[in-house]
Amino acid sequence: MDEEPVLPYTPSHTGRRSRVGYLGLDGVDFAALWPVFGGLVASIALGLDFFVGGGWPRGGWFLKTLCAAAPVALGFGYLRFLVVGRPPHFRRDLAHAALRVRIDFSDPPFAACPWVPRIGPELGDAEEAAVAAEAGHPARRGRR
C-alpha cells in the first residue's frame, strides 16, 4: 500500500499542443540548428588560432575573445531573428526580396548628397501597376 501513488495517474497536456524546441527556442527543430553548430566550430577554431596558435599576435585578449565568439553569436542571431516565430517560407521570401533590390545612382533622393543612391524594389510591370493603383485608391488618399 505504501508504494501506491496518492493521486491517480492522469494524462498530461490535455487539450494543449506540445511544443518542441532546442536551446530554449520554441518551434526550432534540430535541422535548423546548423548555423549554431557551424558557428561553434568556427568559434573554437578561431579561439584556438588566436590564443594557442598565435594567429593574432598584437590584439588584446578581449578583442580576440569578441572576434572568436562572433560566429556562434551570428548563428544564434540567425535563429532568433529569422527562424523563431516565423512561417516556413519567411527566409525564402526575404531572400527573394533582397535579390530584387534596385540601387539607382542616377536619381538621388537628396539633391545635396548625390553620392547617396535611391534604393527600392525592382518591380515587374504587373507589380508597378498594382502599386500605382493602390496609391491612387480613394481610401489611401485620406491617410496621407
Q: Where are the domains of the chain?
A: 16-87, 100-144
Q: Where are the alpha helices (DSSP H) in 5-137?
A: 34-51, 61-82, 90-99, 125-135
Is pTM beyond 0.75 here? Answer: no
Q: At 23, give phi and psi (nearest 5°).
A: 55, 30
pLDDT of residue 49: 92
Q: In whole angstroms, what is the distance from residue 85 CA to residue 25 CA?
A: 9
The amino acid at 40? L
Query: What is the per-residue pLDDT across 55-64, written as a single tens digit (0 to 9) for each?
Result: 877 878 899 9
Strands (E), the chain: 21-22, 25-26, 101-104, 118-121
Query: What is the per-residue pLDDT across 79-133, written as a single tens digit (0 to 9) for each?
Result: 888 888 788 788 888 888 888 888 888 878 787 888 888 887 776 665 666 666 6
Instruction: Tally Cβ neighbours within 10 Å of residue 68.
Output: 20
R_g of the chain computed on alpha carbons: 26
13 alpha carbon, distance to own chain's centre: 31
pLDDT of residue 131: 63
